[in-house]
Structure 1
Amino acid sequence: MWRYRWIVLGVATFTQAASGFFVQGIGAMGIHLQRDLNLSTAQLGLLLSASQLVPLVGLLVAGELLDRYNERWIIGIGACVIAVSLGAGSMAPGYASLLLVLLIVGAGYSTVQPGGSKSVASWFDASQRGLAMGIRQAGLPLGGVLAAAVLPALAAAFGWRATLLAGGLVALLGAVVFMCVYRRPPAQSPPQDSAPQDRSGARLRMLREPSMIKIILSGTSMVSVHSGVAVLTVLYLHETTSVEADTAALIYVATQGAGVAGRICLAAWSDRRRSGRYSSVLTCMVAVTIGMTALMTPLGQSPAAACLLFIWLGFFGIGWYGPWVAYAAESAPPGRTGFALGLAMAVNQIAVILAPPVLGLLKDLTDSFVPAWGLLTVMTVVTLMVAGRRSADSGL
């Protein structure tokens, strides 16, 4: 029966990729969307933020539901919400309607991220949990790779509305597959809730835990980097290094592919690190600082060098999530894995919402990408210093 866990892992990874397929492709469609809808870079960033607004609260609700009910139905229903909203959005008349559609997509996606992580964590023990989490979390950039390869061509041939319909069909497939295949581990008993009067206090205590503070600090910083890579890569390559739009989209595919490899390799590496799983996250923070700093030098204006730097940023700036989410799951109190994951991811949402439009606005106001990369670099360095000091104090 335990061989079935690899099937669970495959299904959870596929559903993650299918649910995030359209949203992950917005960055690759940036040039097409700006042209067809007459958008600024800040408005393009706002599209990415719109799908992440509802999860600010939705992730907490989803986490609570996951601790009470079977994740099979919670995830499946959420993916169906994504599919229906994208299908309806294919008839959206313009930018404002598209923003509304993406808000609803975010509500559905709130269940997929913590639910998939909880389902994988429940099937794998600590010796393989990092690898399993890394493979599962690779679903998001894997969806990005496929979206970056397909959606720009689809938008060029049939218009941007056709991309929403395609995204809805892919999300629906992910929902159906997960609900048909997933089952809980046979030895897993239904979660036991603490007494109602104790729940609020337990949540507040969780926020004060040293491990949760490190999770929140590093997650906020690194998810901002991920957002920057998503919204700026194609535009940077096209405007700064004079790479053609189609070539820039292919480089973005390679960047997402590096993120897939990073999530798996870095998470597997964290299973074997004597210094602890969180040290892998700190390593990623150092690596992205080096990469973004290089982008701000003359080296970043060379097409070949910029391509390599974005692949580097993809590996570490997207790959960090594998060991991070495994550490978050293992740090959760017994019976509260769903809520702990939802809480950590909900706090991340603040950065996910703010980063794309802020970075886009910085670029619009200064007509340069340097302030955006500089802001992300400073954030990462400050967080690295604070989180690294806390890790040293706790003996990591």
Structure 2
Amino acid sequence: MTEAETRDGSWRAVGSVAGWQTAASLCYYAIFAATGFVRDAFSVSESLVGLFLTAGLLGYTVFLFPSGAAVDGYGEKPVMVVGLLALAVALVGVTFAPPSYLLLLVTVALLGAAYSTAMPASNRGIVAAAPAGSKNLAMGLKQVGVTLGSGASSLVVTGVAVVAAWQVGFWAIGVFAAGYALVFATRYRGNPGTGRLERPRLAGLGDNRAYVALVAAGLFIGASIFSMLGYTVLYVQDVVGTGPALAGGVLAATQVTGSVGRIGAGSLADRLGGARGAATVALVQLAGAVALFSLLVGTGGSFALTIAVFVALGLTIHGSTGVFYSCLSGVVDDGDIGAATAGGQTALNVGGLVAPPLFGFVVESTGYGAGWALVAGSTVLATVLLFVVRRRI
């Protein structure tokens, strides 16, 4: 891949970035697939499983702005190479935590810190690489890497655990990620940064009303998505009564339809045009998710219905993040994409930090129906804020 191809836009560059995103998400989202094993290995409650997920998100969130500043200052390539290698090392480190729950929290936090490089770097690469008129589709394809990596991690971790220890799945993923990092380092040219590390220009972003409303929407989108991802496997096991492998299959199916949703949403947003088109598509997806989460409030136990609902949630809320980031990058200057993405992802993560432990507490005290009602309410607020964003752009 030549520097000119990266600069002028090429699908090959888009594919390289999407592949990197897949490998990075394969590492990070392995912890979501391992919730059942963590609960058993450490003999902890559902709320402590939520704290385990929160530790990863905390590390992810704390390092987002430093990662965004590094991307804007030095370009995305060095950040992506170092980040993916760090993810591989941290994931393997998680497997050596038992029986210490405290050590588990520390290693998962380091995994999250390594994953903080993902969105600022990959979004900058996509904005530079996308062919003219196809930015939303390119962003959707890149975001497919998140769902593809997450879905694959569900199959690998739960599938390997059928014949071996769950840690073996983590080791296999770590080896794959390290290998991809080395290939990526030799094949991807990247785009230069400013050459200096600077603090993000948050004051300027704060004056952008559409951006602020979009970040606020991201808070509630993150709360809904991370609660759904964090408890899908446990919900299917506890309420439907399946084994870990089938429960992991439901999570994987959600990721597959999330990929379809991101591609379809990006293509439709390109036809509608610009940031407004992206906001319109995301608004429709979130409204659909409200109805689906409401179904989970009053139903439970049917495997067929559960699959149908989670598959549809993949098409709606889980498939909305591509157009969310397209809209975000469309309302800020290109030179601020790293910092702007860090702000948006921080909002998503803060929602994810708060919601999963709260969801777990509600489940323990009241039941899954009340937990899904909480998620439905969060999605309603996100929908209202997306409506505000659409009116401002």
- How far off is 1:264 after superposition? 1.3
* Alpha carbons of structure 1 residues 322 and 387: separation in structure 2 relative to 1, 3 Å: closer
The 8 Å contact of residues 23 and 48 in structure 1, kept in 2 or not, is answered as no
State the Cα RMSD in Å: 2.2
- How far off is 1:190 after superposition? 4.7
Alignment partners' CA distance in 2, 1:148 and 1:54: 21
**Which amino acid is 2:44 matched to?**
L
**Structure 1 unmatched runs, 5+:** none
Structure 1 stretch displaced more, 15-24 or 263-272: 15-24
Query: How do residues 1-396 of structure 1 correspond to structure 2 at under 5 angstroms?
Result: 2=5, 5-94=10-99, 95-125=101-131, 127-184=133-190, 190-191=193-194, 202-273=201-272, 276-298=277-299, 300-366=300-366, 368-392=367-391, 394=392, 396=393
- Give TM-score scaled by structure 1 length: 0.90
Alignment partners' CA distance in 1, 2:24 and 2:277: 31
The 8 Å contact of residues 270 and 280 in structure 1, kept in 2 or not, is answered as yes
**Which amino acid is 2:254 matched to?**
T
User: Could you give the per-residue CA deviations for residues 140-193 of structure 1, whole angstroms, max 9, x where no partner exists?
Assistant: 1101111111111223433233233223213212322221211136xxx75488
- Give TM-score scaled by structure 2 length: 0.91
**Which amino acid is 1:39 matched to?**
V
- How far off is 1:296 after superposition? 1.4
- How far off is 1:213 after superposition? 1.7
User: Could you give the per-residue CA deviations for residues 319-349 of structure 1, whole angstroms, max 9, x where no partner exists?
Assistant: 1101011111122224211111112112222
**Same amino acid, percent of matched pairs:** 24
Matched residues, number = 385
Alignment partners' CA distance in 2, 1:158 and 1:14: 27
Alignment partners' CA distance in 2, 1:390 and 1:99: 36
Alignment partners' CA distance in 2, 1:117 and 1:23: 17
Alignment partners' CA distance in 2, 1:285 and 1:215: 13
* Alpha carbons of structure 1 residues 65 and 23: separation in structure 2 relative to 1, 3 Å: closer
Alignment partners' CA distance in 1, 2:361 and 2:162: 26
- How far off is 1:278 after superposition? 0.8
The 8 Å contact of residues 154 and 162 in structure 1, kept in 2 or not, is answered as yes
Q: Secondary structure at the match of 1:138?
A: helix
User: Could you give the per-residue CA deviations for residues 190-216 of structure 1, whole angstroms, max 9, x where no partner exists?
Assistant: 54889x7xx67x421302312212221
Alignment partners' CA distance in 2, 1:28 and 1:106: 15
* Alpha carbons of structure 1 residues 126 and 352: separation in structure 2 relative to 1, 3 Å: farther
- How far off is 1:266 after superposition? 0.9
* Alpha carbons of structure 1 residues 128 and 227: separation in structure 2 relative to 1, 3 Å: same
Q: Secondary structure at the match of 1:77?
A: helix
Q: Secondary structure at the match of 2:357?
A: helix
The 8 Å contact of residues 24 and 141 in structure 1, kept in 2 or not, is answered as no
Alignment partners' CA distance in 2, 1:136 and 1:39: 36
Alignment partners' CA distance in 1, 2:337 and 2:171: 34
Alignment partners' CA distance in 2, 1:184 and 1:390: 31
Alignment partners' CA distance in 2, 1:204 and 1:385: 25
Q: Secondary structure at the match of 1:335?
A: helix
**Which amino acid is 1:341 matched to?**
T
Alignment partners' CA distance in 2, 1:37 and 1:51: 17
- How far off is 1:390 after superposition? 4.9
* Alpha carbons of structure 1 residues 63 and 225: separation in structure 2 relative to 1, 3 Å: same
- How far off is 1:126 after superposition? 5.3
Alignment partners' CA distance in 2, 1:222 and 1:337: 20
Structure 1 stretch displaced more, 301-310 or 383-392: 383-392
